[in-house]
Each structure stands twice: as C-alpha cells, then as structure tokens.
Structure 1
C-alpha cells in the first residue's frame, strides 16, 4: 500500500487550473500516481477586471483557453502569469476535469481550500460506495495565486512523501497529519469517506 507507485492521489481545487495543477506537476515528477480536478460549476480564471472573470466549461482544452486569452489581451495575460500557467497545464493533460464526473478511485483526495473540501466530502458521502475502500480527504488551505500555488505544491508533495512512507496508512494517518501540521504551521482538515 505504501509505495509511491501504488498510492492513488487526486489533488483538487475549484477550477483545476492553478493550485491542483501545480501540485499535479510536482507529484508527477516525483513518481506519484496523481490526477487533478476541480469542483466548481465552471472553470473561472481572472479576467480584465475583478468582476469580469473568464469562464469556461470543464472539458474546454487548456489549449483553447490559451488561444482565447492570447486573442483577448496577450500582454495582460502574459503579465499576470495566466499564459504561463496554461502552458504548463497543457503539458500535463488536455483539459480541466470536474471531480464529480470521474469514475476513478483514489486512496487520498487532497483539496486546496475548505469550500472545495466540503464539496468533495459531500459528494463522496452522497454516492453509494462500490468497494467500501477507505479514502482519506485532506485539506490544506492554499491561496489561489501563483506564488502560493508553488508553496502549496511543495507542502502537498512533502505530505505525500510522508504518507508514502507509512506502513499502515489508515492507522498512521493521524500521526502523519499532526506532524505535518506542526511542521508547516497550517491547519489541516481530514475526513474518512468510502469509495
């Protein structure tokens, strides 16, 4: 159970654009079996003003979003880092995915904000478990900006390394999370749900 290769991890934020993708990239490079998702109704990213976000459907490719922003305002979206972010994303996978639509099974679901954590727990509890296997849902609050996404990816990667070293994840998780919380000085939420 505890080797890096067979631990199935999902990293989840709201739009599967910044925080979950940065962590996805980090974990992939370390050899983890990882996927990333969003839980929102739509993919929302900053626009020309705070009240004018760019909104896309899940499943719209990162490449299409990149081209759309390029046409709208190349200098704005270069300056705020969105084109760079989308360029990274399209090297990892084709398009943002919605967590509530996946059929995949995971051992650990890591969310990047409390609202997303609540949505994931609620969704997992609302569906009928098919295998009754335990899934750990863990939240680490990460602000949705490029710098925090990078810090968050380091933290998530560190946590996953600790988890992968456990002999018995279900028995050791509380201790791992307690040590991690003390080390990173960020509150961690944890729930157990069933697949």
Structure 2
C-alpha cells in the first residue's frame, strides 16, 4: 500500500459540523481485527482513538499470538492470556538487542499503553456497528464466526476488509486509510446502497479491493 492523498474520496455531501462529527465518532462501536492483535489492529486502534473514536476495540483471530523470532521458522508463540508486558519481558530475556532492533519491543511498549493484553475476536460477544479487518483470511474468519452464532436480535453489523501488509510502515499507512474510511462512512447516509457506492469509490481510487459483508448479531 503506497502513501496516497485520500482527501478527494470524501462523499459529495456537506461536511458535518465539528460537534456533530465528534458525537458521531464517540458513539460508533468499532472493532479492528488482524491475526494476532499486535501490529496492524493495534496501530489502527491507536490512530482511531487519537482521532476521537472513543469506542474502538481491537482483536486477533488466530489460535495463538505469533511474533517474529530470530528466523522466519522460529516465531515467538503466546496464548491470548499472555499480557503485552509479559511478552516484552520474555523477549528482553531472549535477545534484547535483536528485538529492539527489529522494533518488536517498541511495538509492545505501544500496545501495553493501550490495553493489557491481546484479545481474540471469537471470545468477544459485544456488539459493534462496524468491524474492520486487515487481511482477507481474517475477514472470512470474522464473517464465519458471526454467521455461526445463534442470533435472535438480528442487529446488523457491516464487516469491511482492507488488506494491510504486516509490517510497521504498512500498518501506519493502513491505519490512516481505515481512519479516513470511518470518517467517510460517518459523513454519508445510513443505507447499504450508499456504503456499497462508497467502497466502490475507494476501490477505484486506490486500485485495491474492499471486501464487504453484512452480518447480524
């Protein structure tokens, strides 16, 4: 994902007043999901919260949390009950110089300022208005999980995927894109047709696919 000027992809509507936008952002129940709840979802969590999305949460969908190790074939694997602080201390014991150089320790320091530990989406039964995923396989896991739950309330939720590569630079660029997408969604009307048109506009402007599914709680 290259850095792009996204300003001209806003919907053709009068902008919200500042107070109205702030209230809309504070009300939106938003989830960002990647595989391990470490890099992409946490960078977006941080960015969205700074931009006034006060009800944002982040998750992973993997069976475990995986962090890069000394080689691609030797990852550091933790369960979702392990805190970011515990991971940080473990990596310092293993090879502080390596993990400081690769940025993993810096990432974990950022993560633990946001929340204590990673969370697994499949273990969360809270309702959201919008779920953003960072990888196609994660998107399908989220959609499958929601569809398999026995729902009686039939509360709709839009699930949207934007593919973001799992490295520091792309996570930052991806978080900017997700934040911009959320602002655009708040500016448009509240119909599925308008959402589909907005995503097509993003796809055409950025030359990248945006998967979308409407699920229910």
TM-score, normalised with respect to structure 2? 0.87
**The structure with more radius of gyration:** 2
CA-CA distance at 1:164 after TM superposition: 1.3
Aligned to 1:165: 187
CA-CA distance at 1:43 after TM superposition: 0.2
Runs of at least 4 residues of structure 1 off by over 4 A?
none
Supply the distance in 2 between the matched residues of 1:92 and 1:150 (Cα, whole angstroms): 16
- In structure 2, relative to structure 1, the CA distance for the partners of 1:169 and 1:72 (3 Å cut) is farther
Q: What secondary structure sits across from 2:177 in the alignment?
A: helix
Q: Is the 8 A contact 1:163 1:169 kept in 2?
A: no
Aligned to 1:15: 36
CA RMSD of aligned residues (A): 1.4
- Matched positions, count: 195
- In structure 2, relative to structure 1, the CA distance for the partners of 1:169 and 1:68 (3 Å cut) is farther
The one-character-per-residue Cα deviations of 1:59-99 (angstroms, maximum 9, x if unpaired) are 21101001101111111101111001000000001100000
Q: Is the 8 A contact 1:42 1:55 kept in 2?
A: yes
Q: Which moved further from structure 2: 103-112 or 182-191?
A: 182-191
Supply the distance in 1 between the matched residues of 2:136 and 2:160 (Cα, whole angstroms): 10
* 1:87 equivalent in alignment to 2:109: yes
The one-character-per-residue Cα deviations of 1:94-114 (angstroms, maximum 9, x if unpaired) are 100000001210011111001
Q: What secondary structure sits across from 1:25 in the alignment?
A: helix
CA-CA distance at 1:182 after TM superposition: 2.3
Contiguous gaps of at least 5 residues in structure 1 = none
Supply the distance in 2 between the matched residues of 1:73 and 1:84 (Cα, whole angstroms): 14
* 1:114 equivalent in alignment to 2:124: no
Aligned to 1:31: 52
